[in-house]
Amino acid sequence: MIHQPPAGARDLLPLEVAQKRWIASRLQAVFHRWGYQRIITSTLESMKTLMAGGAIRRSTVLQLEDSVEGTLGLRPELTASIARAAVTRMAGEARPQRLYYRANVFRRPTASHHGRQIEFYQSGVELLFAEGSLADGEVLLLLAECLQNLGLEQWYLVLGEVGLTRSLLSIFPDAVREKVRSCIARLDRVALENLSLSPPLLERALLLFDLRGKPEDVLQKVSRLELDEAGQQITSDLKSLVELLKGSSSTSIPLILDLSLLGTMDYYTGIVFEVVSPSPHRVLGKGGRYDRLLELYHPQQETQPGVGFALNLEDLHACLLLSQQLPQNTPASHWLVVPQVPQAEAAAFVYAQKLRNSEHLVRVEIELEGRSPEVIREDARRRQIARIAWIQADGTPTIETL
């Protein structure tokens, strides 16, 4: 019998680990430069916590039964867990809170997709207790710098505004509004055209469906619509955000404004966005503003703002593989310490530890198999080991540089 991981799970071998660690380290360097602190939350959450935002379908959560805590679930995303931790355990901390994470998440595939991946790795940020265009701008500029620091050459940022889209949908009768919203969110034009709508309402629905493109063009179309006061304010704020992004980045951000983008998480209340790679087409990450989520976990149900994003390490890895920027080999050891006779074995371990105690990271291996010097040298060259320390019986080392 050949033992394999469960369906949907997979092992990461050393080279892939090294490559994904390279990605995570590049992202972490940007997070640190922007003043974000790492947070680690529990892999397990109560189902009540995960369901509180109303955005996660119970069927997608891998659940565990616990007689004391009730039903537990493996986290399918991090925002809910961080929101819970922030309002229950960080109430006295300075604000705003700039937090980042690197963690695995789990999602149960549907019955028709048996064997599809269930464990994913994400890295992202949450900017909590900060509202307005300036906070939104920080998160989007931080996201852009992350992608630039990875050396990604082809990507674009798709930006939407849930509040504005909902305002534009307000003219539809209650009986059909959710159907129109669903068609737009799923980009299902055929279903939209077949809804029972009057000609003026169908025209408005198709206009909303196509409200995407260059930000200035989309905003110009929106400005010609009859908006309520809230819609006008959101449009003004969105215009300010677009201008902020254009004026604050040293390199141009490839920005697409898409008001049909509603997001998959129902807790979003303001901007929503996706990072997309065009070739091959992949959604590299997504995020948005969620100003009503934290109150669900707050002891006094206080409303607190938040905005953040998550990047998918698997998708970033797949895109970067094509560019040859990732490490092509696992890190080579710097030294191979070889006891030349059995009496030198203890001294070999002592000398290897002396090398490892250097100020800098030094990778040191011990020769364990008693091979001939010729075989040892050949193997060391193949594995790109820089130096061999031959240890004599009295502990004296002879250094050979390869």
Domain segments of the chain: what residues?
Answer: 14-321, 335-401
Cα–Cα distance list, 144 to 148, 152, 153, 345 (Å): 6, 10, 12, 53
Q: Give the pLDDT of residue 385.
A: 95
- Which residues does 91 contact at the CB level (< 8 Å), separation at least 6? none
Contacts 24+ apart (CB under 8 A), 233-240: 234/161, 234/163, 234/164, 234/167, 235/164, 237/132, 237/133, 238/161, 238/164, 238/271, 240/133
Q: How do residues 198-209 score in pLDDT, each as one tens digit? A: 998 999 899 888
Kindly report which listed range (131-140, 241-250, 383-392) carries the lowest average pLDDT score: 241-250
Please give the residue that has the higher pLDDT: either 265 or 166: 166
Are 267 and 293 a contacting pair, CB within 8 Å? yes
Q: Give the pLDDT of residue 320.
A: 92
Q: How far apart are CA 246 and CA 216, in angstroms?
A: 12
- How many residues does the structure list for the chain? 402
The torsion defined by the Cα of 340, 342, 347 and 350, in degrees rounded to 10, comes to 100
At 53, the pLDDT band (50, 70, 90 cuts) reads low
- Which residues does 66 contact at the CB level (< 8 Å), separation at least 6? 72
Q: Give the pLDDT of residue 277.
A: 92
- Nearest in space to 287 (alpha carbons), one of 133, 151, 157, 377: 157
- Nearest in space to 264 (alpha carbons), one of 63, 77, 41: 77
Q: Average pLDDT of 367-396? A: 94
The torsion defined by the Cα of 242, 243, 249 and 250, in degrees rounded to 10, comes to 130
Cα–Cα distance list, 197 to 132, 201, 203, 210 (Å): 36, 6, 9, 17
Q: Give the pLDDT of residue 315.
A: 94
Q: Is the per-residue pLDDT at 341 higher than 90?
A: yes
Distance of alpha carbon 165 from the chain centroid? 25
Mean pLDDT score of the chain: 90
Q: Give the pLDDT of residue 263.
A: 58
Q: Give the pLDDT of residue 4.
A: 79
Are 344 and 395 a contacting pair, CB within 8 Å? yes
Q: Average pLDDT of 154-173? A: 90
Q: How far apart are CA 25 and CA 53, in angstroms?
A: 31
Kindly report which listed range (45-59, 161-175, 210-224, 342-356) carries the lowest average pLDDT score: 45-59
Q: Is the per-residue pLDDT at 325 higher than 70?
A: yes
- Nearest in space to 291 (alpha carbons), one of 306, 272, 310: 306
Side chain identity, residue 232: Q
Could you tell me which residues are beta bridge partners of residue 123?
102, 311
Q: Is the per-residue pLDDT at 1 higher than 60?
A: no
At 266, the pLDDT band (50, 70, 90 cuts) reads low
Q: How do residues 97-150 score in pLDDT, each as one tens digit? A: 999 999 999 988 776 666 678 899 999 999 999 999 999 999 999 999 999 999
Q: For the chain, what percent of residues have pLDDT higher than 70? A: 97
Q: What is the full DSSP assignment across 257-303?
A: EETT---S-TT--SEEEEEEEETTEEEEEEEEE-TTTGGGTSTT---
* Most confident residue range from 46-60, 289-303, 363-377: 363-377
Q: Average pLDDT of 310-320? A: 94
CATH 3.30.930.10 assigned to domain 14-321? The reply is yes
R_g of the chain, CA atoms, integer Å? 27
Kindly report which listed range (77-81, 112-116, 162-166, 280-284) carries the lowest average pLDDT score: 112-116
Q: For the chain, what percent of residues have pLDDT higher than 90? A: 57
